């Protein structure tokens, strides 16, 4: 389906003028959902065009979901136009478990909201630009420029896109997985699971702790953060007990875990800080021959309700994937309606036995 931008490029100036003018009035709120649109004859006179040209333009707006035909009345603005009900979910790599969970929850929310009569259509866009300009980036840019989205939920790292048309278009709220708001982008903050994980280990009497990290932070940042958090609780860690594996090659987590657990001095607890590393890191625990949880208590990050498999028993901790989406949608809708709202969307961290 061609969007507004593509339509303007491919059709006559007069048809494009009508499409853009009506779409702008709908997006700006001059024509609200349910409002009757001017007749073909009135639009033809207004734009000095033939009724056939107007009819073609109206047909395109119907295809895009902005207007609908009503028998005996004419055309009305749809009850759920794209700029109020279409939400963009920007993803960097749909092969990782967190992103798979987001896609499943996005589909579920879209389906449930249709049956509730309050459509929330969540469309995913893969912005992985490692091998050139991704199709998802091109499509999202076109939708943003056409104001065909209510807002963007950014699960992809935003740093590479801040100076692109995605973030230049005014009036489209954005939220991203950030620690703090950035340039008008709300922060979806997944509350620090590390604090809750370490506090739980202290309560269990486990004071020697190792970590398997995802390598997103620099080695010095990661080491300093983990040492400080452990030290603040009277816990002991070692440089060798802090290992990292790249998410592009998670199988290296097996070797990292084996190295972490070798030798006469080893931790009695292990925190796996990324759910994508859980299968391979726990395989490393199994190959080390330790009794779990007697010799080693393992706390593993997860994204509920889609935990990755583990080779040994683990205590799972993480965030509710559905809530990431629903709270972000609520923020976007409030922002569009001018409702005062916090620029930090806090998603609580929970253990598996705390799920309701």
Q: What is the pLDDT of residues 196-248, one digit of tens each?
A: 999 999 999 999 999 999 877 788 888 999 999 999 999 999 999 999 998 88
For residues 212 and 260, the answer to whether their CB atoms sit within 8 Å is yes
Give yes or no: residues 329 and 260 share one domain: no
Write down the pTM of the prediction.
Answer: 0.81
- Of residues 217 and 108, which shows the higher confidence score? 108
- Residue 198: the pLDDT is 98
- Residue 331: the pLDDT is 96
Helix extents (H) in the chain: 4-10, 13-28, 40-47, 51-64, 82-85, 97-116, 135-145, 165-168, 193-203, 219-231, 252-261, 278-287, 321-336
Give yes or no: residues 108 and 213 share one domain: no
58-62, 131-135, 174-178, 223-227, range with the lowest pLDDT: 131-135
Using CB atoms within 10 Å of the CB of residue 128, give its burial: 0 to 12 exposed, 13 to 18 middle, 19+ buried. middle
Report the CATH number at residue 161: 3.40.50.2300
Token pair belonging to 198: 């370490």
Give yes or no: residues 187 and 272 share one domain: no
Give yes or no: residues 64 and 13 share one domain: yes
Give yes or no: residues 333 and 187 share one domain: yes
Average of per-residue pLDDT across 17-26: 89
Distance CA 252, CA 222 (A): 18
Distance CA 17, CA 23 (A): 10
Give yes or no: residues 241 and 294 share one domain: yes
Average of per-residue pLDDT across 149-165: 88
Give yes or no: residues 73 and 89 share one domain: no
Give yes or no: residues 54 and 169 share one domain: no
Give yes or no: residues 276 and 334 share one domain: no
48-57, 153-162, 335-344, range with the lowest pLDDT: 153-162
Give me the DSSP letters along 261-288: H-SSS--SEEEE--GGGHHHHHHHHHHT
For residues 259 and 284, the answer to whether their CB atoms sit within 8 Å is no
Alpha carbon 36 to its chain centroid, in Å, reads 36
Give yes or no: residues 201 and 271 share one domain: yes
110-119, 124-133, 253-262, 293-302, range with the lowest pLDDT: 124-133
- Residue 130: the pLDDT is 55
Give yes or no: residues 175 and 98 share one domain: yes
Domain that holds residue 172: 82-191+323-354
- Residue 94: the pLDDT is 66
The domain boundary, picked from 45, 77, 109, lies at 77
DSSP letter for 308, please: P
The domain boundary, picked from 77, 106, 129, lies at 77
- Residue 129: the pLDDT is 58
∠ CA 243-244-250, rounded to 5°: 125
Using CB atoms within 10 Å of the CB of residue 51, give its burial: 0 to 12 exposed, 13 to 18 middle, 19+ buried. middle
Average of per-residue pLDDT across 103-110: 92
Cα end-to-end span (Å), the chain: 41
Average of per-residue pLDDT across 314-338: 94
Give 2's pLDDT tier (boundaries 50, 70, 90): very low
Per-residue pLDDT for 5 more than 70? no
Per-residue pLDDT for 288 more than 90? yes
8-17, 49-58, 146-155, 334-343, range with the lowest pLDDT: 8-17
For residues 227 and 235, the answer to whether their CB atoms sit within 8 Å is no
- Residue 1: the pLDDT is 38
Per-residue pLDDT for 276 more than 70? yes
Give 192's pLDDT tier (boundaries 50, 70, 90): confident
The percent of residues in the chain predicted with pLDDT above 70, rounded, is: 95
Mean of per-residue pLDDT scores for the chain: 88
The two beta strands, 209-213 and 186-190, are unpaired
Give yes or no: residues 41 and 115 share one domain: no
Report the CATH number at residue 27: 1.10.10.10
Number of independent structural domains in the chain: 3
Token pair belonging to 149: 């989205």
Average of per-residue pLDDT across 132-161: 86
Distance CA 335, CA 312 (A): 45
Per-residue pLDDT for 263 more than 90? no
Token pair belonging to 338: 């001018």
Average of per-residue pLDDT across 311-328: 95
- Residue 215: the pLDDT is 78
3-state secondary structure of 319: strand
Q: What is the pLDDT of residues 59-105, one digit of tens each?
A: 989 988 899 888 777 889 988 888 889 999 998 876 777 788 899 99
The domain boundary, picked from 48, 77, 106, lies at 77
- Residue 6: the pLDDT is 53
Give 9's pLDDT tier (boundaries 50, 70, 90): very low
- Residue 343: the pLDDT is 95
∠ CA 256-258-261, rounded to 5°: 110
């Amino acid at each position: 389906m061609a969007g507004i931008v593509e339509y303007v490029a491919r059709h006559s100036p007069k048809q494009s003028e009508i499409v853009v003018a009506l779409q702008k009035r709908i997006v700006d709120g001059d024509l609200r959902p349910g409002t009757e649109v001017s007749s073909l004859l009135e639009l033809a006179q207004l734009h000095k065009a033939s009724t056939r040209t107007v009819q073609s333009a109206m047909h395109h707006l119907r295809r895009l979901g902005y207007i609908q035909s009503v028998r005996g009345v004419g055309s009305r603005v749809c009850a759920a136009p794209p700029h109020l009900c279409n939400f963009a979910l920007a993803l960097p790599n749909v092969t990782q478990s967190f992103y798979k969970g987001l896609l499943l929850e996005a589909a579920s929310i879209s389906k449930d909201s249709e049956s509730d009569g309050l459509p929330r259509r969540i469309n995913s866009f893969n912005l992985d630009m490692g091998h050139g300009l991704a199709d998802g980036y091109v499509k999202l840019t076109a939708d943003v420029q056409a104001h065909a989205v209510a807002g963007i939920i950014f699960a992809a790292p935003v740093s590479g896109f801040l100076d692109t048309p995605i973030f230049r278009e005014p009036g489209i709220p954005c939220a991203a997985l950030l620690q703090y708001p950035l340039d008008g982008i709300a922060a979806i903050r997944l509350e620090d699971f590390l604090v809750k994980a370490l506090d739980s280990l202290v309560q269990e009497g486990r004071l020697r702790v190792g970590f398997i990290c995802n390598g997103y932070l620099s080695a010095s940042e990661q080491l300093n953060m983990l040492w400080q958090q452990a030290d603040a609780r009277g816990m002991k860690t070692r440089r060798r007990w802090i290992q990292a594996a790249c998410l592009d090659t998670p199988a290296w987590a097996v070797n990292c875990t084996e190295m972490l657990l070798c030798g006469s001095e080893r931790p009695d607890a292990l925190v796996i800080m990324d759910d994508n590393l859980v299968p391979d890191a726990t395989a490393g625990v199994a190959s080390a021959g330790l009794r779990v949880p007697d010799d080693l208590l393992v706390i593993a990050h997860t994204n509920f309700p889609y935990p990755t498999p583990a080779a040994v028993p683990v205590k799972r901790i993480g965030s509710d994937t559905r809530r990431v989406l629903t709270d972000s949608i609520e923020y976007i809708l409030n922002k569009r309606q001018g409702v005062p709202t916090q620029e930090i969307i806090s998603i609580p961290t929970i253990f598996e036995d705390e799920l309701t």
